[in-house]
Amino acid sequence: MNELYQKRLSRHLRQMLRYLRLVFNDHFVIALMFFVGGLGLAYSSWLKTVTPRDSWIVVIVGLILWLGLGIGRVATLLEPADVVFLLPREYDLHGYLVKAWRYSWWLAQAVQVVLVGLTVPVLMLVDRLSGLSLLALLLTQLALKDSQLTGYVTRLYRLTHSQQRWSQLGNWGGALFILALSLRVSPWLGLVLALALVAGQRLWHARVWPTTVIAWRDDIQLEANRMLGIYRFFNLFTDVPMVQGTVKRRRYLDWAFHWVPRDQQHAFNYLFARGMVRGTEFSGLVTRLTIIGAILLYFIGHGWLAIALDVIFIYLIGFQLLPFYKRYDNIVFTHIYPIDLKQRFRNFQRLLTIILSLTGVVFLIAFWLSNASLVQVGILVLANVIEIYLLVAWYAKLRLA
């Protein structure tokens, strides 16, 4: 079982590295460096305004740490065929799950270290925590995440609905209570309680797994959902075959097609528009990136960082929409239409222009609501117009030639 997990893990890591190379290309890394540097500068400037009287910030920090415990799950790497081929060795699967727990433990705890590290300056200013107290808080966060991961593995076995519910409630409720005590009373008291929660969780796990069976179908579905979340992130930057969209009628958007002419010259315009609205893959991608970009533009505030962020998000949306041009290449009827390929490309350019223009308008509204000056709003409009023109008229033609 250990060898099986190692083979699956090696294959999984190779696949992840292949996608990560596509995501973190040169352009995105440079943009990410500016973005992280801008956020760091904004965070540093905000810390200068924080005083010990702002005690409400401790509550926000506690909620952030508590919600941060949900980042990272156990990568079981289970596959649908396992319910047949591994069923005879179900008892030995515990060693497989232990290997999965250990691999996931290091990744999840690295995230918790970063999360606590980001909150340290705030806690030093507001809560007056010393170095040892901050160390105790870090160990408390790590212990709580350890308990979360152990409980996740325990729930991979067939438990009753009551046991499942009380296990999750105990972990999350106990973590919230312990973090509250750590921040408001003493980090050392929180550490003692967190270690007690870890010990209790492991004792319960040791009692459960030898006396019950694996919930195969539920566990395989959990792993499929976990991988789907990862693939959806990669799909924001490149085409991922594992992410398959669904089709929805969306009758309430029929009014939007009145602007599409019903003639031969705009046949692909109508097809692309219908496909974009009815399909969930590309429309969901555009919606998610637009909402995330608008929220970031509003909270980052006016300035060059916001303008750069606007340019990055419009580029990401335009870049991700390019594969939609070949969406219907496998349908034979699209090849027998008496329509020139140049006309088809012009129809796609029109759709791309409309989508990016609507996104630019949403970003402009969010930027304007952040109290940006008229000069900065004008610069943003000019940057959007130039970028959309270059993406549609030059970059799309270059990529789809």
* pLDDT tens by residue, 189-237: 999 999 999 999 999 999 998 988 999 999 999 999 899 888 878 876 6
- Read off the DSSP letter of residue 395: I
Beta carbons of 392 and 349 less than 8 angstroms apart:
yes
- Average pLDDT of the chain, as a whole number: 85
Domain boundaries, the chain: 2-233, 251-400
Residues in CB range of 363: below 8 A, 6 or more apart: 290, 293, 294, 297, 310, 313, 314, 380, 384
pLDDT over 80 at 35, yes or no: no
Predicted local distance difference test score (pLDDT) of residue 9: 93
Pair 82, 216: CB distance under 8 Å: yes
pLDDT of res. 3: 87
Separation of alpha carbons 335 and 322, rounded Å: 19
Instruction: Mention every residue, 6+ apart, whose C-beta is less than 8 A from residue 338.
Output: 264
φ, ψ of residue 142 in degrees (nearest 5): -65, -40
Q: Which residue did the predictor score with more confidence, 244 or 378?
A: 378
Residue 157 has φ and ψ, to the nearest 5°, of -90, 165
Round to whole Å and give the CA distance between 142 and 169: 19
The span from the CA of 15 to the CA of 27, in Å, is 22
Single-letter amino acid, residue 383? A
Per-residue buried b or exposed e for 57-85, using 16+ beta carbons within 10 Å of the residue's own CB: bbeebbeebbebbeebbbbbbbeeebeee
pLDDT tens digit sequence for 141-200: 999 999 999 999 999 999 988 888 888 898 899 999 999 999 988 899 999 999 999 999
For residues 314 and 391, the answer to whether their CB atoms sit within 8 Å is yes
CB atoms < 10 A from the CB of 93, how many? 25
Q: Where are the alpha helices (DSSP H) in 209-303?
A: 216-235, 267-278, 280-300
Q: Would you say 291 and 275 are in contact if contact means Cβ atoms under 8 Å apart?
A: no
CB atoms within 10 A of CB 28: 17
User: Nearest 5 degrees, angle CA 387-CA 321-CA 226?
Assistant: 125
Stretch 233-251: mean pLDDT: 69
Q: Which residues pair with 157 in a beta bridge?
A: 214
Collect all residues with Cβ–Cβ distance below 8 Å to 171 and sequence separation of at least 6. Answer: 147, 148, 151, 197, 201
Whether 25 shows a pLDDT value over 80: the answer reads no
Q: How far apart are CA 204 and CA 99, in angstroms?
A: 19
Residue 230: CB partners within 8 Å, gap ≥ 6?
A: 16
Secondary structure class of 232 (helix, strand, coil): helix
Give the confidence band of 252 by pLDDT, cuts at 50, 70, 90.
Answer: low
Whole-number Å distance between alpha carbons of 170 and 67: 15
* 245 phi and psi angles, rounded to 5 deg: -80, 170
Collapsing DSSP to helix, strand or coil, 214 comes out as strand
pLDDT, tens digit (0-9, with 9 covering 90-100), for 100-134: 999 999 999 999 999 999 998 888 888 777 788 89
Q: Which two tokens stand for residue 236?
A: 């924001």
